[in-house]
Every structure is written in C-alpha cells, then in structure tokens.
Amino acid sequence: MQDKPTILIKNIRAVDTISDRLTDVFISDGKIQEIAPTIHAGADEVIDGTDLTLMPSLFDMHVHFRDPGQTDKEDILTGTAAALAGGVTGVLAMPNTVPPCDNPDTIRYIIDKAKDTGVDVYPVGCITNGMRGEGLCDYEALKEAGCICISDDGRPVENAENMRRALELSNENGLLVASHCEDLSIINGGIMNKGTVSRKLGVKGMDRASEDYITAREMILASSVGARIHICHVSTEGSTAMIRFAKSRGVRVTCETAPHYFMLTDKLLEKRDAYYRMNPPLRTPHDVKAIIEGIKDGTIDCIITDHAPHTDEQKANFETAPNGVVGLETSLAASLTALYHTGEVPLRRIIELMCVNPRRILGLEVPAVQVGSTADLVIADLDRKWTVDPAKLHSKSHNTVFKGMTLTGKPVITISKGIIRYDERKEK
C-alpha cells in the first residue's frame, strides 16, 4: 500500500454539484483538508491547475473486466489501469466471467485482486446459477462475500417468475437488481439494429421491441413487489419513454446509458466493421435525440460505458464477431464532447450522471470537492482536443467505437483516496 502524500493543487477550477470556484485545494491523509483562494502549505506534490478543472472522480456502474477466465481480452489490473486513465475510481464489474460470479469464491477473488489498484471494484453477483436463467443464487452468501448488486448481464433472465422472485428477495437482502433488457426470442440471431441499414447490408437485425418489451416487463415486476430495478444500457426512444412514465407513477426504477447511444447511429455499420457492434446496438438519429432528452430531463440517471473488451482477432469478422466495445478511457471525453461542449448539459449535470448518481444508487459514499471529503478526484482539461488512438489505450483490447474520432476534454490526473494513481504528464 502506498503512503498517502500531501498534495497541493494551485489555481484550479473546482466543480461539484454544490459549488464552482477558482481556488487552491490541499489534500492529506486521503482527504481534502483545505479549500481557499490561496494556500501556502508545503506539500509532497504541487500541481499547477491553471486552465484545468477539478471534479469528483467517476464511478462506472457497468464494466466487464473478463477476469477470471478470459484474460486474453482484459484482466483486473489492465481494466483498472484503463479506468484510472479515464478518471474512474470505482466500478461495478459484471458477472459474465468464466466461471460466472455466482459464488462467494469468485467474488472474493475479484475483490482481492483489485484491492491495491486504486479502483474500488465491486463484483456483481449472478441472479441465477451459472447465468442459466433457472435456479436463483444464494444472495445472502453473495452479499456476505462483498456483492452490492446482482445481474445476469450479458443475457436476460428469460423466466419472468424467476425475475420476479429475484426482485422480491432483493428487498430482503438490500441488493440492487440490474437487468440486461433483451428478449432472446425476438433477437433470434440479430447482430445490429433492425432497420434501413441492416436491410441494406443484408444482415439480421435486432428489433427494438426486444429491449422495450423486457424494460416494460422488469418495471411491472418490480412494481408488483415494491422492489428497486435498474435498467442497463438504455438505447431506444421507447424504453426511455416507458421509464419516464414509470418514474412518474412511483416505480422504483433507475437506468443508465452509454456515450455511444447519444453520439452515434447505426449508419456507422455500413462500414461492416465489428468495432461498431455492441448489444444493445447503435440505433437511429431519433433514438439518439430521445436519449439526450432523457439525460436532460432526469429520466436517465447514469452514464456508463459497458466496457466490453475483445481481441482484434475476435473482432475481425463483421458478422461473427462478439458484441461489445471498450469505453473507460473515453467516457468523460465523449460526454463532454456531445453534451457539455454542445450546450446541451451543464458540467454539474455530467458530474451527477457520472459520479454522484451511480454511487447514490448503490448506497456508496459520494466524493465532492469539499473539505472533509475523501479525495477521489479527477483533474481534466475540458478544452483539450485529442484523437482517439486505439493502440494507446491502457486496456488490453482496442475495440473502441471512437477510434480516429477527435474528442474535446481529457482526464490528465486521477487521484484515488489521496494518492495520484494516473498522471498523464509522466506518461509522455
């Protein structure tokens, strides 16, 4: 374990949901000790914050680290390195590992391997044994091992009664239930959004009814037992509208989306490049507009990445490649580019979506740029323009949907519990 140094950040714009000010910030013993216009304290590290912005660090509540079992794609150490390079100090790691996270031993393995990385990795436990959709896992044992959330993400729980029962039990054990909303019988082998582009390419499409139907089902089931439900990776106008309505009716539903769903459309698939394939798929301009409106009006609670690494070899064939894209190192930059720099969403709202709400939903401590807060922080250059080079990512895999794109805004330093864990200046 590293010693916790003293850090003095000079002349920086410090922003959270409470305040926005130009100031100095002094950190010691893992916490923010002083915030003032001028601080003269000696420090182990002095950072010139001129033209930079200090914010609470991000929490990504939807990643796949592939560890155990598929470490050719990613492992916990490379996944957390990618997180830190993106300003992320906490993640929910989804359970579709090999073996799946349906037992305490696998949960403890992940927590133990991540403990010294500077990223709080919370393994998600399976809803059903082996993610097979049948018998329910021992949620009490999973929680005792360190779980705070259960999901069969990567596939849906097809049996509605099993899902209803899981939601019912979640009220008893305090675990959040997160749902991958997809009807496999509707998908039936589809590989991209069903529509004009899929027909043009002559490939089988994923009908949006698949996502919309299970989204509605989950909210009905949750409402029936008074449970919480979290809807993963929302991509359609229909799901957004139904979640908005359910919230207005008092259903205990929260949801998330990813930058590619409010930035990109299925037109990119005309390149027949599997780097642009994920599940749910890129949709239409109409859906992109609806997702942005959902972010603006509070329907959508969180921005996540669904960071899903695959090797170059696995992504080589457009029609047979696995779904998924990496995103931890581009999520803040993409969100700033599409939402903040376009004037659609203020910076404080982006902080809510990427830092505050994920932690609140999970019942975790929420860092702030305030005296006494744990120093989980990111320093970003909001106006930096940079081009995404897959070869320079910290992830083992390069399958970013933003390859070759110029984004505006970049994390440059990430501080986790008072320790500088990523510093772009030292990588040059």
Q: Cite the active site residues.
A: 306
Distance CA 241, CA 255 (A): 12
CA distance 206 to 214: 14
Instruction: List residues bridging with 378 in a β-sheet.
Output: 55, 414
Q: How is residue 10 written in tokens?
A: 């000079």
The label of the residue with tokens 């990567």 reads: 154
Q: Is the dihedral of CA 243, 56, 79, 93 positive or negative?
A: negative
Cα–Cα dist 350/346, whole Å = 7
Tell me the CA distances in angstroms from 226 to 170, 212, 253, one per residue in order. 10, 21, 10
CA distance 304 to 178: 13
Q: Between the CA atoms of 409, 39, 21 and 4, what dihedral angle is there, to the nearest 10 degrees?
A: 50
> Backbone phi, then psi, for 43, in 5-degree steps?
-150, 155
CB 166 within 8 A of CB 177: yes
Token pair of 245 as six digits = 């309505």
Name the β-bridge partners of 205: 192
Taking the C-alpha atoms of residue 149 and residue 93, their distance in angstroms, rounded to an integer, is: 10
Token pair belonging to 93:
């790691």
Residues 237 and 212: their CA atoms lie apart, in Å, by: 9
Give Cα 265 distance to the centre of its chain.
20
Alpha-carbon span 310 to 74, nearest angstrom: 8
Apex CA 269: angle with CA 267 and CA 272, to 5°? 145
Element (H, E) at 9: strand 7-15
Q: To which H or E segment does residue 27 belong? A: strand 20-28
Rounded-to-integer distance, Cα 287 and Cα 294, Å: 10
Q: How far is CA 190 from CA 184, 214, 251, 260, in A?
A: 9, 17, 31, 19
Tokens 């949801």 identify what position?
A: 255
